[in-house]
Structure 1
Amino acid sequence: MKVLVIGANGQVGQQVVNMLHAHERHTVRAMVRKQEQLEAFQKKGIEAVLADLEGTVDEIAEAAKGCDAIVFSAGSGGHTGADKTLLVDLDGAVKAMEAAEKVGIKRFVMVSSFQAHNRENWPENLKPYYVAKHYADRMLMNSGLNYTIIRPGYLRNEKGTGLVTIAENLNGGSIPREDVARTIVQSLDEPNTYKKAFDLMSGDTEIAEALKSLQ
């Protein structure tokens, strides 16, 4: 399938793009905000398109035309102001869903945040970020899209192990960004992840096996 990666210049997004570019079954289009980001992907032979989550639904829909799936890995970051968080993590995500519906894309993989579904576990200093993630996820679950919502724990930069723990509710932990990216890519056409949301941490189970055994 052809996959539009929104947030392609982020740390997880870049890894997702590179994995999809090398994939035998998938192709990729990277959505970025800046011309220099576009050119950096194009120099690597990767299709890229300019569009802004703070722009219009039509702009995002145009970027998504011809794709079969969307991966939403964009984020303002938990330490930006609440205004930017609302514009990107909530409204930007909803615009991406509306764009998918507008051009007939059904498959939508959302990168959320650990325990975004559980208000009792939100860190006090990150509440606006978690509010945005929570309601974006709820909007996606109530849409007509074939969604998967991935809620990774604390993100680390070391090399991935390919071993994870996946469940609706986990107690906490962390995970390399590389393993988050691998999980996103492997979720795309894994039917057992369709219409499901789950926490994701480092663990001792191969990603493919963990996804197939998800309850």
Structure 2
Amino acid sequence: MARVAIIGAHGKVGQELMRELYDAGHDFVGVARGEESAEDIFRLGGEGVTLDLEQADAETLAGALAGCDAVIFTAGAGANSGVERKRTVDYGASVLTIAACQAAGIRRLIQISAAGVDDPSTATVVPDPQWAAYVAAKRDADAELRASGLDWTILRPTALTTAEGTGLIELAESVDRASGSIPRADVAATVIAVLDNPGSIGEQWELTGGSTPVAEAVARLS
């Protein structure tokens, strides 16, 4: 059993992660922005920590993470949040989390990113400055994590849906992004499989809906 911190716990993926961690028997700390969110985390079986990632420093976040064995970063500014907040949350909060892990002596950090962000054409698929800023923020955050010296894994899902999880995915260095999508529940299940598999350390994978059971897909590549 591990003690795991979720950065961005009250987001849609974060809530799925809390359910998965609870079912797997892991203790978890959920870091969220509002007090009401922290109360929701408690009701889901975890310890809620109220922290504004855009205002906190690494020392403060490290204190919240103390005693954790691993951290999952799934924070994001969300749709229509503006170009600036893509940088301060999707990138800035990731960099803050890296520094906090280093300060707290936590080696394991799993980051949920987005498929295709290293491909320059991805930023122009949607003609929207917010989309371009989002792609750049995820790309740069992943680069910071790869250079951090931590025991990292980066998961890059295709379009996220609210559909019920199937437990079946496609996991690879690169997947077909054009028509790909994946339920958030299956992303969360993949994170748990990665958490339990040390062979995933230092790996960056894209994932989408597929035909391979989650644990088998992770084991094949680890």
Place the TM-score, normalised by the shorter chain, in its bin: over 0.9
| 1:178 and 2:178 matched | no
Contact 1:52 1:60 in 2 (8 A): no
Residue 107 of structure 2 aligns to which amino acid in structure 1?
Answer: K
Distance in 1 (alpha carbons) for counterparts of 2:120 and 2:196: 30
Residue 18 of structure 1: how far off its partner (Å): 1.6
State how far apart, in whole Å, the 2-side matches of 1:191 and 1:35 are. Answer: 34
Equivalent residue for 1:155, pick from 152, 155, 160? 160
Contact 2:27 2:46 in 1 (8 A): no
- Give the deviation of 1:45 after TM superposition: 3.5
Distance in 1 between the 2:18 and 2:43 partners?
14
Per the alignment, residue 144 of structure 2 pairs with 139
SS class of match (2:164): coil
Aligned alpha-carbon RMSD (Å) = 1.3
Q: List per-residue Cα deviations over 1:148-194 (Å, max 9, x = no partner).
A: 10000011111111000011111210000100010011111212311
CA shift for structure 1 position 78: 4.6
Q: Which stretches in structure 2 are left out of the alignment for 5+ residues? A: none
SS of the counterpart of 1:67? Answer: coil
1:1-215 matches, cutoff 5 A: 1-24=2-25, 26-54=26-54, 55-122=56-123, 123=125, 124-125=127-128, 126-172=131-177, 173-214=180-221
* C-alpha displacement of 1:56: 1.2
Q: Percent identity?
A: 36
Give distance in 2, aligned partners of 1:92 and 1:44.
24
Q: How many residues align structurally?
A: 214
Structure 2 CA distance for partners of 1:45 and 1:170, relative to 1, 3 Å:
closer
2:175 is matched by which residue type in structure 1? Answer: L
Query: Following the alignment from structure 1 to structure 2, what is the Cα–Cα distance between the partners of residues 50 and 80?
Result: 20
Separation in 2, partners of 1:117, 1:7: 23
Report if the CA contact (8 A) 1:52-1:59 is conserved.
no
TM-score (norm 2): 0.92
* Per-residue CA distance 1:78-104 (angstroms, 9 max, x = gap): 532111111001111000000000000
Equivalent residues of 2:18, 2:44 under 8 A apart: no
| Paired letter, 1:148 | T
TM-score by length of 1: 0.95
Contact 2:122 2:135 in 1 (8 A): no
